[in-house]
Amino acid sequence: MKAIWIDSLGGPEVMQVIDMPIPEPGRKEVRIKVESVGLNYSDIMIREGRYLQRTELPQVLGRELAGVVDAVGPEVTRVQPGQRVYATSASGALAEYCIAHQGAVFPLPDAMTSDLAVALIVQGLTALHCLDHHGRLNAGETVLIHAAAGGVGTLAIQMARHFGAGKIIGTASSEAKLAVIRELGAEAVNYTEPDWADQVLALTGGRGADLILESVGGEVFWTSYRRLLAFAGRIVIFGIASTEVNQLHTNEILRRNKTIIGYFLGEYFEKARDHVVRDTARVLEMVLSGAVKPIIDTPFSLENAVDAFNHMQNRKNIGKVIIKP
């Protein structure tokens, strides 16, 4: 089978398309014939050795996939060969076949294609949890969403509108992305402009946002927390694309009367499988009702995986990036 392999850390130059044997599932493992792979910014950070966990080498890249169960181990009880599934894996998704533990494999409803699954589940659950479970968005509140033209951002705008947000503001870095944000019903601000924070404040009447979804880190976090978050507001951190680490003293948290919330979907897959199943159904219901429509960027082939990584890293994508083996 063909796979995207790395044996060292670095940029696109470390990615290789190789032929390797089709792997065999262990006792509690499932082998999936991969139809669609969802690319996430974490994949870039893993390749570069900058992710939350240490990158194991060598490895086949990719952590999110959908396809058809091809074989199962003798102790697998949750799925069977021929069943369409979505899965997460520590690695190995960017290949024609992938092995996943049965606990990380989820049957797909008939209404959900493989492309829709990888466009919707990680990004949809992240948007839902950041807005609802963690962000506790109330009707009429103002929401600021950074990187709002990406996979999470485009869904978060639509969900915030569905939940009754009073004002939605999205930031992005190009006119094409700002146009998408406006089409989705949000105010748009270019965060590469020097006065972008002043523009956000003007849109909120100087009050700031009640809820901020933040995935950039560095100066964007500081500006959002210190200047753009309203009194008693909440900021949910669900990524750190800039890799700029912020250090925050407890006395600053004490005096600002603002709530900082961390969100990591990976722990939901590990510790709250029932929540994942329930909330995936909730996200799909929003799609089927027309309240939410995932935006999928132009798909890439496995052989062009380097181009897909560069497309995302250079901030060119609008919506979800998908790779098709």
Could you read off the pLDDT of 113-149 as tens digits, one per residue?
A: 999 999 999 999 999 999 999 999 999 999 999 999 9
Same-domain status, 39 and 159: no
Same-domain status, 90 and 193: no
Domain closes at, from 243, 265, 287: 265
- pLDDT computed for residue 25 by the predictor: 97
- pLDDT computed for residue 178 by the predictor: 98
- Measured CA angle at 201 (ends 196, 206), to 5 deg: 160
In the predicted model, residues of the chain with pLDDT beneath 70 are none
- pLDDT computed for residue 149 by the predictor: 95
CATH number (domain holding residue 247): 3.90.180.10
Same-domain status, 230 and 204: yes
- pLDDT computed for residue 111 by the predictor: 85
* Burial class of residue 264 in the structure, from the number of CB atoms within 10 Å of its CB (0-12 exposed, 13-18 middle, 19+ buried): middle
In a domain, 117, yes or no: no
Same-domain status, 68 and 198: no
Same-domain status, 79 and 129: no
> How far apart are the C-alpha atoms of 296 and 300, rounded to whole Å?
11
Same-domain status, 127 and 237: yes
- pLDDT computed for residue 245 by the predictor: 75
Residue 93 lies in domain: 2-108+295-324
pTM: 0.90
DSSP state at residue 285: H
- pLDDT computed for residue 252 by the predictor: 81
- pLDDT computed for residue 4 by the predictor: 99
Q: Which residues contact 26 (CB under 8 A, 6 or more apart)?
A: 73, 99
Same-domain status, 207 and 176: yes
Domain closes at, from 265, 280, 310: 265
Same-domain status, 215 and 133: yes
- pLDDT computed for residue 246 by the predictor: 78
Dmax of the chain from CA atoms? 62
- pLDDT computed for residue 270 by the predictor: 82
Number of domains in the chain: 2
